[in-house]
């Protein structure tokens, strides 16, 4: 194991290899994460976190890449964290997506990392804030967190952002689905990508209509904007950057910039505590060992809720 202080110092200088190694420590839930958290603490608190999410095919990676270009043109240092919820099946798609980011691979002002969390006992809720601290300490002004695929875990991740962008594309029926599924509440900004395609106007109108019906406001007076983009050509990306900055200004004006960091800290603490408790559950021995209890449940001698009561009582000592 390399010296942690050395790696942190190199990461602060923007050495990509050092940043990469530190994110790897996070992915692998290294026993040194405690030490890493302490070493990074003095250098964090600067980066803004922007989450991007949406169904497969709406153009998340292309939009992320276009945002990187625009933010770099603006002189900002950018981190990209592509979160893969450790699916054994998403590897292929992930690889394909990442290739599109290759134009930024040689830019020293950009750090791009795909992150899996297979080894991480605390899951995404713990691993993502930890990786964000690495990119924050490395001097990123903005970190884009792109979630790959669909699933509950991604929803948890977007909740960790300061600003959440929900991407949609015309003609995917996403508008209605979005309303049904409650993603209206998750979005701080909507981007209707592929806005040069048929149906874009309808999708924008649908979203605006639903937001009026639902009167979704992110706190007093933030009206969720709907931005049209064609990420593949860069069209509308400046509008999207402006919407992100507007939301940041709004949070600052309302003394709410601390909300994102507090949400992240809260989720991380809870996830670490639950991972600790899970480890205690799995190390129970004797009559409250999981295997012994499972046997009694299968035999019909105990119901699973009563078994869980015994587990909780044992863990609580």
Q: How far is the CB of 276 from its own copies (least distance, A)?
A: 5
- Please list, in sequence order, all residues whose beta carbon lies within 8 angstroms of the beta carbon of residue 222, skipping any fewer than 6 positions away: 188, 247, 250
Task: Compare residues 55 and 203 and give the one whose CB is closer to its own copies.
Answer: 55
Give yes or no for residue 294 binding its own copies (CB under 8 A): yes
Give yes or no for residue 290 binding its own copies (CB under 8 A): yes
- Please list, in sequence order, all residues whose beta carbon lies within 8 angstroms of the beta carbon of residue 25, skipping any fewer than 6 positions away: 32, 33, 36
Give yes or no for residue 274 binding its own copies (CB under 8 A): yes
Give yes or no for residue 213 binding its own copies (CB under 8 A): no
CA distances from 129 to 32, 85, 232 (A): 16, 15, 30
Give yes or no for residue 305 binding its own copies (CB under 8 A): yes
Give yes or no for residue 273 binding its own copies (CB under 8 A): yes
Judged by CB under 8 A, the stretch of 3-11, 68-76, 222-230, 295-303 that binds its own copies is 295-303
Give yes or no for residue 52 binding its own copies (CB under 8 A): no
CA distances from 222 to 81, 88, 167, 211 (A): 26, 39, 18, 12
Q: How far is the CB of 301 from its own copies (least distance, A)?
A: 10
Closest CA to 127 of 156, 89, 88, 99: 156
Q: How far is the CB of 203 from its own copies (least distance, A)?
A: 13
Judged by CB under 8 A, the chain residues 117 through 176 that form the site for its own copies are: 123, 126, 129, 149-155, 172-174
Collapsed DSSP state (helix, strand, coil) of residue 30: coil
Judged by CB under 8 A, the chain residues 232 through 261 that form the site for its own copies are: 258, 261
Figure out which of the listed residues 71, 186, 200, 244 binds its own copies, where binding follows CB under 8 A. Answer: 186
Task: Compare residues 40 and 138 and give the one whose CB is closer to its own copies.
Answer: 40
CA distances from 239 to 53, 78, 90, 119, 235 (A): 18, 18, 31, 39, 9
Closest CA to 210 of 229, 191, 182, 189: 182
Collapsed DSSP state (helix, strand, coil) of residue 59: coil
Q: How far is the CB of 97 from its own copies (least distance, A)?
A: 14
Task: Compare residues 73 and 202 and give the one whose CB is closer to its own copies.
Answer: 202
């Amino acid at each position: 194991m390399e010296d942690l202080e050395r790696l942190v110092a190199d990461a602060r200088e923007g050495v990509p290899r050092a940043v990469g190694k530190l994110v790897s420590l996070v992915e692998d839930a290294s026993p040194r994460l405690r030490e890493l958290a302490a070493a990074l603490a003095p250098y964090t608190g600067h980066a803004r976190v922007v989450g991007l999410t949406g169904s497969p095919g709406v153009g998340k990676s292309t939009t992320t890449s276009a945002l990187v270009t625009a933010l770099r043109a603006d002189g900002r240092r950018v981190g990209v964290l592509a979160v893969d919820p450790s699916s054994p099946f998403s590897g292929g798609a992930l690889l394909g997506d990442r290739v599109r980011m290759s134009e930024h691979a040689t830019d020293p002002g950009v750090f791009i990392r795909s992150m899996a969390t297979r080894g991480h006992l605390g899951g995404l809720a713990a691993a993502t804030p930890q990786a964000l601290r690495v990119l924050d300490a490395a001097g990123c002004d903005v970190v884009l967190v792109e979630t790959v695929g669909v699933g509950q875990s991604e929803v948890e991740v977007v909740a960790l952002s300061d600003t959440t962008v929900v991407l949609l594309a015309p003609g995917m029926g996403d508008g209605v689905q979005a309303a049904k599924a409650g993603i209206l509440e998750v979005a701080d900004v909507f981007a209707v990508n592929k806005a040069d395609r048929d149906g874009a106007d309808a999708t924008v109108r649908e979203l605006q209509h639903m937001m009026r019906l639902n009167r979704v406001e992110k706190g007093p007076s933030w009206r969720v904007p709907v931005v049209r983009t064609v990420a593949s050509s860069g069209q509308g990306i400046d509008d999207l950057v402006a919407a992100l900055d507007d939301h940041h200004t709004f949070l600052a004006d309302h003394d709410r910039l601390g909300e994102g960091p507090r949400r992240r800290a809260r989720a991380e603490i809870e996830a670490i505590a639950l991972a600790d408790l899970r480890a205690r559950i799995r190390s129970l021995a004797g009559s409250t060992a999981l295997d012994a209890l499972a046997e009694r449940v299968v035999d019909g001698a105990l119901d699973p809720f009563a078994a869980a009561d015994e587990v909780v009582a044992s863990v609580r000592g």
